[in-house]
Amino acid sequence: MDQARVVVVGSTNMDLVAKAAVLPRPGETVLGGEFVTVAGGKGANQAIAAVRAGAATRLLGAIGSDAFGVTLKARIDAAGVDTGLLRVVYGASGVALITVDAAGENTIVVSPGANGSFTDLDERERAAIAEAAVMLAQLEIPVETVTAAALAARSAGTRVVLNAAPARALPAELLDAVDLLVVNETEAVAISGESRPEPLLASVPRVVLTLGAQGAWYVDREGASVQVPGVRVETVDSTAAGDAFTGALAVAWAEGRELVEAVGWACAAGAACARKLGASTALPTRAEIDELWSVSRGPDRAS
């Protein structure tokens, strides 16, 4: 089978991750433990997730001219993502400040930096979108750019997967161009006013509602409504589990898998990621996903 092609349109950030026993409350200082800096941002994370899940992946976005930008590009390159079209703009790169507690829960503050400058698409970027089987986007770059990318993909016959995070209301023009919407309950409320996936079918043909450790819920306009159980693991850090899920889901769909099966495989990817500390450094390989997916299906390996 030819390697599936995925293009990711999104953010790149340097993640500054500190581990602590508990998350600080407003005005409180807590003593932390391990500290790491890792390449992150939802765009970079999902691009790396897609590569590790088995796809040939390009990342479209922007980094700064600072030291973080140099390190970001080097680390994303090293992960196997094609960064040939990644823009370098004068100024600061995006940065995320992340605190992770002993239970694996986290708080995140993102400073967009260069991501905010990614306000249009050039012809080479449009061509990259047209060459992919699936275009995957998020909302850590200007929504106008996400909309332009989705319209370019729709025009070229490339499937559009939108992970509508961070939560916000979305323009109808963008939703009209989405083939598969991936949201958590907070994001679903921001778009439709309800935490269930069915109301979103008024705007898009297919929806995956992620439920954390409980799995995910897939619905579509053909009448499907399937709750896919999560895969139980000991959670170390949930920071990039959602990105692992979404990247793997895009790969599975690009490979032609049925979406319910793709969602189950993506749940295994998210669970595999949650077993490790960090964001991009924790994203699982295809072999790790397959192993956990096989175990989760049990001896009957039901389809």
> What is the CATH number for 173?
3.40.1190.20
**Euclidean distance between CA atoms 220 and 164, whole angstroms:** 17
CA 4 from chain center: how many Å? 17
Let me know how long the chain is: 303
Q: What is the mean pLDDT of residues 112-135?
A: 97
Instruction: Give the pLDDT of residue 234.
Output: 82
Q: Does residue 140 lie within any of the structural domains?
A: yes
8 A C-beta contact, residue 4 and residue 55: yes
Strands of the sheet with 5-9, listed across from one edge: 56-60, 5-9, 134-137, 159-163, 180-183, 206-210, 215-220, 225-229
For 107-131, what is the mean pLDDT? 95
Q: Which domain holds residue 87?
A: 5-25+33-297
pLDDT at residue number 1: 58
Residue 238 vs residues 134, 269, 275, 281, 297: alpha-carbon distances, Å: 25, 12, 8, 12, 22
**3-state SS, residue 32:** strand
Segment 163-189 shows an average pLDDT of 96
Position 58 confidence tier, pLDDT thresholds 50, 70, 90: very high
Confirm or deny that 242 is annotated as ligand binding: yes
Give domain status of residue 302, yes or no.
Answer: no
Q: Would you state the structure tokens that stand for residue 186, as one six-digit string?
A: 């907070």
94 annotated to a ligand binding site: no
**Which of 214, 216, 215 shows the shortest CA–CA distance to 206?**
216
**Which amino acid, residue 27?**
G
Mean pLDDT, rounded, for 1-9: 89
pLDDT, greater one: 296 or 57: 57
57-71, 139-153, 208-222, 272-286: least confidently modelled range? 272-286
**Residues with catalytic roles:** 243
* Average pLDDT over every residue of 137-146: 97
Q: Position 36: which residue type?
A: V
Is residue 178 assigned to a domain? yes
How many independent structural domains does the chain possess? 1
213 is in an annotated binding site: yes
| Domain presence at residue 303 | no
144 assigned binding-site residue: no
Q: How many CB atoms lie within 10 A of CB 203?
A: 16
What whole-number distance in Å separates Cα of residue 130 and Cα of residue 159?
10
Higher pLDDT, 2 or 179: 179
Q: What's this model's pTM, rounded to 2 decimal places? A: 0.90
pLDDT confidence bin for 89, thresholds 50/70/90: very high
In the three-class reduction of DSSP (H, G, I as helix; E, B as strand; rest coil), residue 286 is classed as helix
Question: For residue 278, is pLDDT > 80?
Answer: no
Mean pLDDT score of the chain: 93
CB 120 within 8 A of CB 23: no
pLDDT greater than 50 at residue 37: yes
pLDDT exceeds 90 at position 195? yes
Q: How many whole angstroms separate alpha carbon 42 and alpha carbon 299?
A: 35
What proportion of the chain, given as a percentage, has pLDDT over 70?
Answer: 97
The alpha carbon torsion through 124, 139, 182, 271 (nearest 10 deg) reads 100
Alpha-carbon gap, residue 201 to 82, rounded angstroms: 34
For residue 188, what is the enclosing H or E element?
A: helix 185-192
Residue 303 confidence class, pLDDT cut points 50, 70, 90: very low
Q: What would the mean pLDDT of 177-182 be, rounded to a whole number?
A: 98
Query: What is the average pLDDT across 155-177?
Result: 96
Instruction: Count how many Cα atoms sit within 13 Å of the Cα of residue 154 in the half-sphere of its side chain.
Output: 15
**What is the C-alpha separation between 270 and 211, in angstroms, rounded?**
11
Residue 264 belongs to some domain of the structure: yes
Q: Is position 43 annotated in a ligand binding site?
A: yes
13 is in an annotated binding site: yes
Instruction: Find out whether 201 and 219 touch, Cβ atoms under 8 Å.
Output: yes
Question: How do residues 197-254 score in pLDDT, each as one tens digit?
Answer: 999 999 999 999 999 889 999 999 999 999 999 888 888 877 789 999 999 999 999 9
